[in-house]
């Protein structure tokens, strides 16, 4: 394609040296050319949030614990780096060994290292640190002072446990109410044990209870204890009851007894009541829960006997299966259907790959249209049709192609299309949409002193629930101290604190300046001209010097891959932890986006020797280099060669 430009005749003499309209005098262009190599600005040190942290719903200081693992940030004397990294990690998330195994790791999707070759295996380092802490028996430090305030936490799942943990660290007395036999919520009753080993889960929950957190199990609020009684006995309440009710298929025939929800299915399995399923199982979903159901069904298999118990009777708690039947276990045909194509399914990519390897049939791009039933009312199959699914205005729209219907025979149909909150006895907290409405501090609308988090706000990831529990705990703490709720930062995560680091190193620190200070080359409150932008700015890869980073292959965890035959009856953990050497190597791939990692580029390349190393007795992480502004000419080379984007040309604007 060619382009044309319209020209207009002019009688004005052209000089081609015009600086602006009306000037015809010649200018000294060499001066401007030479000045192009420098600016009128000098370097400033600006800490920003890396995209991994901004993508982490639990708000972990990912860059921080990776810096400790790689050796950039040194632990206090006498403390192993693994413990120091674990303690930094657990400031936000008390479940690193669990989340290192099951979190879908949105942090890795956001990692700037993807622009070089591949993301940093953040999840695998978290897994290593979590397992190391359990092996070494690490405990959380109890608070020195008790406040005397009492908080009731309804629900012992990830949100409730996270909130209880943070409140206990602040010195408050916390009691968790849970209707189950054990704490853990969806971590225990929604995820199979071969993904979250129960000894690992118990160890991480046990640490929280050792802080003095009390648990009242088999107790349902609204039935055994009323909300009014809670208000009288406690100073604040946290709603973390989860969404452990499943959603039935919205198609004709879904009321068949052997058409059950994923939450009921997984609860029966994780309770140990269900030992086998039918010969043909169809799962409807596309998220991680549907994969869990399908892989569990594949492992359980079926019993080839006429009098084998119908699985729905076990799931609904009406019958128990004989453990001796397991010896007669045979493989089950498991089909997973999803309205989305495999590329758009919400389940983890590697979990989908595992499912396919284990012989599970995936029918992507198909929607259920009817549950087929026999004369006795039981389902005999699921009718599906090709479809196109997309989100419009935040709502899922599924367009079915009529005439493409097909039938899949089934002895058991499992709906994994969503979750629902059971508000029985707690109707006053229902927003009218089957959820709880709360503000950004997670205080329930119109209910002072009542906070909420997790799936009651919006069913989402376990890591999301953990982060909401932390933020709610901070809101509860302010409420108990009689303070106004503060405005949360735009980027609400735990971050490296330079002032705390200076105190930890025993360095003298002057009072921090007031917010209006533009810069300084003399005060000792921080790095000269240091600015913390982490609460409002995520640093993109365009601001990094990617040329600094050489190719380094990711150290991937070993995974036990199963086929259709070996999956049958195999409930062993598939994911293996990295070695210490591998974990350190993986942490070294972190690019420390937005914070100095002591590469020396700025010192080496500064032509004026204006950038210099801070003396060892005054330096620390984040305060490794400084600038002598009497030498700086604003050439911006230091900014150009800074791999992390920590140096920005700002002074002099």
- DSSP character string of 424-473: TT-GGG--SSSS--B-TT-BBTT-TTEEE-GGGT----HHHHHHHHHHHH
Which parts of 234-377 fold into alpha helices (H)? 262-270, 288-300, 311-315, 349-357
Q: In this structure, is residue 90 part of a structural domain?
A: yes
Contact (CB, 8 A) for 128 and 580 = yes
How far is residue 141's CA from residue 207's CA, in Å, rounded to a whole number? 10
Q: In this structure, is residue 35 part of a structural domain?
A: no
Looking at residue 231, which CATH number applies to its domain? 3.50.50.60
The torsion angles phi and psi of 356, rounded to 5 degrees, stand at: -65, -40
Tell me which residue has tokens 């602006």: 20
Buried b or exposed e, range 393-408, using 16+ CB within 10 angstroms: eeeeeeebeeeeeeeb
- Of 418, 446, 461, the one marking the end of a domain is 418
Same domain, 632 and 602: yes
Q: In this structure, is residue 253 part of a structural domain?
A: yes
Q: In this structure, is residue 485 part of a structural domain?
A: no
How far is residue 596's CA from residue 549's CA, in Å, rounded to a whole number? 14
> Tell me, what's the pLDDT at 617?
87
> Tell me, what's the pLDDT at 307?
47
How far is residue 362's CA from residue 571's CA, in Å, rounded to a whole number? 22
Same domain, 502 and 630: yes
> Tell me, what's the pLDDT at 36?
57
How far is residue 165's CA from residue 153's CA, in Å, rounded to a whole number? 11
DSSP state of 645: S
Structural domains counted in the chain: 3
Instruction: Please give the average pLDDT of every successive group of 10 residues along the chain, which has 653 residues.
Output: 44 50 62 58 91 96 97 93 98 98 93 95 98 98 95 97 98 97 94 94 98 97 92 96 90 94 92 86 94 94 64 62 54 93 90 93 96 95 94 87 95 92 91 92 94 94 96 97 92 90 79 55 67 94 94 94 90 95 97 96 94 90 89 90 93 58
Same domain, 384 and 449: no
pTM of the model: 0.88
User: Which uninterrupted H or E stretch holds 520?
Assistant: none
Instruction: Tell which residue, 72, 206, 116, has the closest CA to residue 548.
Output: 116
88, two tokens: 């930094």
Interstrand relation of 366-373 and 361-364 (parallel, antiparallel or unpaired): unpaired
Neighbours of 508 (CB within 10 A): 8
DSSP state of 225: B
Q: In this structure, is residue 298 part of a structural domain?
A: yes
How far is residue 240's CA from residue 454's CA, in Å, rounded to a whole number? 6
Neighbours of 194 (CB within 10 A): 17
How far is residue 312's CA from residue 155's CA, in Å, rounded to a whole number? 27
Q: What share of the chain is helix, strand, coil (3-state, %, to 5)?
A: 30, 20, 50
Same domain, 262 and 376: yes
How far is residue 333's CA from residue 649's CA, in Å, rounded to a whole number? 62
How far is residue 278's CA from residue 256's CA, in Å, rounded to a whole number? 15
Q: In this structure, is residue 595 part of a structural domain?
A: yes
Residue 120 has, within 13 A of its CA and on its CB side, a CA count of 31
Instruction: Tell which residue, 111, 95, 65, has the closest CA to residue 469.
Output: 95
**Which class for 511: exposed (0-12), middle (13-18), buried (19 or more C-beta within 10 A)?**
exposed
> Tell me, what's the pLDDT at 4?
41
Q: In this structure, is residue 98 part of a structural domain?
A: yes
Same domain, 290 and 237: no
Q: In this structure, is residue 330 part of a structural domain?
A: yes
Instruction: Tell which residue, 478, 547, 528, 469, has the closest CA to residue 213.
Output: 469
Beta bridge partners, 412, equal 281
- Of 377, 392, 418, the one marking the end of a domain is 418
Same domain, 333 and 411: yes
Same domain, 568 and 443: no
Angle at 565 between CA 561 and CA 571, to 5 degrees: 60
Same domain, 318 and 348: yes
Neighbours of 11 (CB within 10 A): 4
Secondary structure of residue 216 in the 3-state scheme: strand
Same domain, 266 and 357: yes
> Tell me, what's the pLDDT at 11?
53
Contact (CB, 8 A) for 611 and 638 = yes
Instruction: Tell which residue, 378, 400, 243, 240, has the closest CA to residue 311.
Output: 378
How far is residue 392's CA from residue 396's CA, in Å, rounded to a whole number? 6
**Which class for 165: exposed (0-12), middle (13-18), buried (19 or more C-beta within 10 A)?**
buried
Same domain, 261 and 410: yes
- Of 394, 418, 442, the one marking the end of a domain is 418
Same domain, 446 and 411: no
Same domain, 226 and 310: no
Domain of residue 357 covers: 246-418
């Amino acid at each position: 394609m060619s382009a044309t430009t319209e020209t207009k005749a002019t009688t004005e003499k052209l000089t081609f040296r015009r600086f602006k309209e009306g000037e015809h005098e010649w200018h000294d262009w060499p001066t401007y050319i030479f000045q192009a190599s420098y600016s009128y600005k000098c370097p400033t040190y600006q800490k920003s949030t890396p995209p991994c942290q901004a993508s982490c719903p639990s708000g972990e200081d990912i860059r921080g614990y990776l810096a400790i693992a790689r050796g950039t940030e040194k632990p206090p004397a006498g403390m192993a780096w693994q413990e120091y990294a674990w303690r930094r990690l657990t400031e936000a998330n008390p479940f690193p060994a669990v989340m290192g195994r099951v979190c879908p790791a949105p942090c890795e999707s956001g990692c700037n290292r993807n622009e070089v070759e591949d993301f940093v295996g953040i999840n695998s380092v978290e897994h290593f640190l979590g397992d190391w802490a359990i092996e070494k028996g690490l405990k959380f430090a109890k608070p020195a002072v008790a406040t005397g305030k009492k908080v009731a936490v309804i629900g012992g799942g990830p949100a409730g446990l996270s909130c209880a943990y943070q409140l206990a660290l602040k010195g408050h007395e916390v009691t968790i109410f849970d209707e189950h036999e054990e704490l853990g919520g969806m971590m225990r009753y929604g995820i199979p044990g071969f993904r979250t080993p129960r000894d690992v889960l118990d160890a991480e929950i046990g640490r929280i209870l050792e802080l003095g957190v009390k648990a009242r199990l088999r107790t349902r609020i609204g039935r055994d204890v009323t909300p009014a009684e809670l208000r009288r006995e406690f100073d604040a309440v946290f709603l973390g009851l989860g969404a452990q009710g499943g959603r039935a298929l919205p198609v004709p025939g879904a009321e068949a007894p052997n058409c059950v929800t994923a939450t009921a299915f997984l609860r029966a399995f994780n309770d140990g009541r269900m030992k086998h399923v039918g010969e043909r199982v169809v799962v409807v979903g596309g998220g991680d829960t549907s994969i869990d159901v399908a892989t569990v069904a594949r492992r359980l298999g079926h019993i080839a006997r006429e009098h084998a118990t119908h699985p729905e009777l076990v799931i609904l708690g009406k019958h128990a299966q004989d453990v001796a039947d397991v010896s007669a276990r045979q493989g089950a045909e498991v089909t997973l259907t999803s309205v989305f194509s495999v590329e758009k399914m919400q389940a983890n990519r590697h979990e989908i790959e595992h499912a396919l390897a284990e012989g599970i049939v995936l029918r992507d791009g198909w929607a259920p249209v009817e549950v087929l039933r026999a004369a006795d009312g039981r389902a005999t199959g699921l009718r599906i049709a090709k479809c196109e699914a997309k989100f419009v205005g935040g709502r899922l729209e599924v367009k079915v192609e009529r005439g493409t219907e097909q039938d899949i025979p089934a002895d058991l149909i499992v709906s994994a299309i969503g979750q629902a909150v059971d508000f029985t006895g707690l109707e006053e907290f229902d927003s009218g949409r089957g959820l709880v409405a709360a503000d950004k501090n997670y205080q329930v609308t119109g209910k002072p002193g009542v906070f909420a988090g997790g799936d009651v706000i919006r069913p989402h990831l376990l890591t999301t629930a953990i982060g909401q529990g932390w933020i709610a705990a901070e809101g509860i703490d302010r409420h108990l101290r009689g303070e106004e709720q503060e405005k949360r930062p735009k980027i609400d995560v735990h971050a490296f604190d330079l002032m705390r680091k200076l105190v930890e190193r025993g360095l003298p620190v002057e009072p921090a300046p007031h917010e209006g200070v533009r810069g300084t080359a003399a005060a000792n409150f921080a790095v000269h001209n240091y600015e913390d932008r982490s609460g409002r700015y995520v640093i993109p890869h365009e601001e990094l010097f990617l040329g600094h980073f050489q190719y380094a292959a990711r150290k991937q965890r070993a995974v036990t891959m199963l086929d259709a035959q070996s999956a049958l009856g195999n409930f062993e953990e598939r994911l293996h932890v990295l070695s210490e050497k591998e974990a350190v190597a993986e942490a070294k791939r972190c690019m420390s986006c937005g914070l100095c990692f002591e590469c020396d580029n700025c010192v080496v390349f500064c032509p004026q020797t204006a950038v210099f190393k801070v003396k060892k007795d005054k330096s620390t992480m984040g305060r490794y280099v400084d600038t002598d502004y009497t030498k700086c000419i604003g050439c911006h080379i230091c900014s150009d060669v800074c791999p992390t984007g920590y140096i920005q040309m700002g002074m002099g604007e």
